[in-house]
Amino acid sequence: MPLQISLPGQEQTGSKVVGIDLGTTNSLVAYVEAGEAKVIPGRDGGLVPSVVTLDDDGAVMAVGTPAKRRALIDAGHTIYSVKRLMGKSYTDVKKDSGMLSYALVPREEGLVRVAIGNREYTPIELSSFVLKELKERAEKYFGEPVSKAVITVPAYFNDSQRQATKDAGRLAGLDVLRIVNEPTAAVLAYGLDKKKNGIVAIYDFGGGTFDVSILKLTNGIFEVLSTNGNTYLGGDDIDRRLMELFISQLQRIEPNFAPTAEELQQIRQEAERAKIALSELQHVTVDLQLPRLAINYKRNVSRGELEMLARPILDKTKQPCIDALADAGIKASGIDEVVLVGGSTRMPIVKQLVQELFGRKPHDSLNPDETVALGAAIQASVLSGGISEILLLDVTPLSLGIETIGSMMSTIISRNTTIPTIAKEAYTTFADNQTGVEINVFQGERDLVQDNRHLASFTLKGIPPLPAGAAKVEVTFMIDADGILHVSALETHTGIAQQIEVKPSYGLTDAEIERMLRESILHAKEDIAARRLGEAKTEGERVANATEKVLGDIRRGEISLSKESLASLKVDQIIDSLYALRKVLSTDDAKEIKALTEMLEEVTEPMAHEILNASVSQALTGKVLSS
Ligand code: AMP
């Protein structure tokens, strides 16, 4: 039973069910309108970067694109890649903590927590901020409250990770009707389920992760034959290669150059911009303006050069594909369809590699960033009664069972069982007069529980005192359509159902969720104010930096303007406005920052015109125009 929390002022109205792709790098919300799945756009397009900026006291300053921009100037308060931490403990993720620019709290027990300013957050709370943003985006679009959603997760997500995703949804005020596997959603988006039978390979290469899944479709039942991948492989690695190249060249010019966190972000964004442009163009110019350095770094990068840098990273996607095929017991020639998912599959070299691997042209007509969200929207439409012909069933990716004597795993539900499913096993007591049994639930394929993943502990109390082996405890595992496990236990000797206590190791209790929800409502006003300030500061910094850069370019003669143009620019007025804006940027006066940003934009407008005119005439000078 999903937890129903009703708080004053929280209307649970609105009948629309949306589909959400909660990604490592970007998230999206989609909806089926007039029979067609569409991503719901915001001011900055469909993608909401899965990035959040919080201030020292826990107010949300920015979510999505504004937060991604803030990463440039406020790296320590800006959190990204939270999906990697979902449903995990500190022990699970500490080896990866060096890859993150924010601090994890080194506490062994419970969910891992992230430290920001004076507070600590679970990944569930951090993800809920992104989900809330998507919910609000949908509400603005429809002009009515949205409280129901389908959310996608990777096929390999275990029970804790699925549960954490569902909890994040609840915390954002969403009733999560279904958790759907991402590859299943991709197949739905392409309508391949209509073909009824066949084997589909889904190659998903995003920003930070690579997944390959082999699905079998039989009359509308989706069976995940195998999944494989690398949770630390993606377009970000390609960006990193380019960054390393730029930094090593900068160090040749300035041997002591050691980039700050903010400079690293700036270099990273320029590297990504160049990489994306090279999916369309053969050449691109990289232009890095680092205020601490005397020079501008300008360089031409060709597609061939990028591909050479990217090749070792792309080659790492090959073995997981080969292993996935082997696990599924299928040869590449047995694959009927191949689907591309994830922004990095836009690179022409990636499409080529996939075609070589699977021996057929992949489906790439949909926007690869949107495919999973569109599939989620189709599933949402099915659940709201809009589309009815699809029967959607998945299988459980890993076996589930309990610990028995000798720390052995006793499997109750085997991997690849079609879900929803229910299974029972009977156990007996080990000692005389034992009145309680501790049942530990594990997920995995290994014989010893220490090699599997601990999911939860159950204490069955109140067993009548009997000789060892006389009491019979029946343990029932039920996996619902979301792939989430429900466990119950019964002492059968007396025929009376016993009470069990469920203590999920990595979930949030209903009380915790309720507390967090109450807090978020309580702090809503502060959050809005903090956010307004965050956005104003980011925009102010952007305009001030851009103005400084142009003034610097003019001073160094990199932009040459005629004397008359220069005279018409009112440079003194620009410098005064810039100075005033810089001064107010260090305060918390959002209104004043906004006003001075607008003023600077206004006084620099003639300059922008002059520069544009100058660059057009420079471009034409000395060039023969082809007829
Ligand atoms: P995703 O995780 O699916 O949102 O994918 C994000 C990744 O795709 C990031 O590394 C982006 O830099 C990358 N990406 C987006 N568009 C392109 C493109 N046109 N060419 C190459 N990479 C891209």
* CA 15 distance to own-chain centroid: 26
Known catalytic residue at 44:
no
The whole-angstrom separation of Cα 283 and Cα 285 is: 7
Q: How far is CA 332 from the centre of its chain?
A: 30
Three-state SS across 451-513? Answer: HCEEEEEEEEECCCCCCCCCCEEEEEEEECCCCCEEEEEEECCCCCECCEEEEECCCCCHHHH
Give strand ranges (E) for 505-582. Answer: none
Q: How close is the Cα of 71 to the center of ligand 1, in Å? A: 18
The pLDDT value recorded for residue 514 is 65
Residue 572: left if φ>0, alpha if ψ -120 to 50, beta else—which one? alpha
Q: What is the mean pLDDT of residues 558-586?
A: 85
Among the listed residues 16, 83, 148, 275, the single catalytic one is 83
Residue 186, Cβ density class (10 Å: 0-12 exposed, 13-18 middle, ≥19 buried): buried
Q: Which of 418-427, 461-470, 579-588 has the highest mean pLDDT?
A: 579-588
Is 94 known to be catalytic?
no
> Would residue 447 show up in a list of annotated catalytic residues for this protein?
no
Is the bond preceding 420 in cis, omega lying within 30 degrees of 0? yes
What pLDDT score was predicted for residue 75?
A: 78
**At which residue do the structure tokens 């990193």 appear?**
240
Higher-confidence residue of 449 and 594: namely 594
Could you say which of 55, 159, 167, 182 is catalytic? 182
Residue 336 has a pLDDT of: 95
What was the pLDDT predicted at 279? 98
Q: Ligand 1 center to residue 380 CA distance, Å?
A: 26
For residue 507, the CA-to-ligand 1 centroid distance in Å is 31
> Which residues form ligand 1's pocket by a CB distance below 6 Å?
23-26, 206-207, 234-236, 272, 275-276, 279, 342-344, 346-347, 369
Q: Is the pTM of this model over 0.85?
A: no
SS3 218: strand
Residues 6+ apart with CB under 8 A from 21: 27, 28, 30, 152, 182, 185, 370, 372, 373, 376
The pick from 344, 350, 352 for probing ligand 1's pocket by mutation, whose C-beta has the most ligand atoms within 8 angstroms, reads 344
Quick check: is 182 catalytic? Answer: yes
**Which is the catalytic residue, given 204, 223, 364, 369?**
204
- Which range of 202-211, 302-311, 610-619 scores highest in mean pLDDT? It is 302-311
Q: Residue 122: which of 158, 156, 157, 79 has the closest Cα?
A: 79
The best mutation among 20, 25, 268 to test binding of ligand 1, ranked by most ligand atoms within 8 Å of the C-beta, falls on: 25
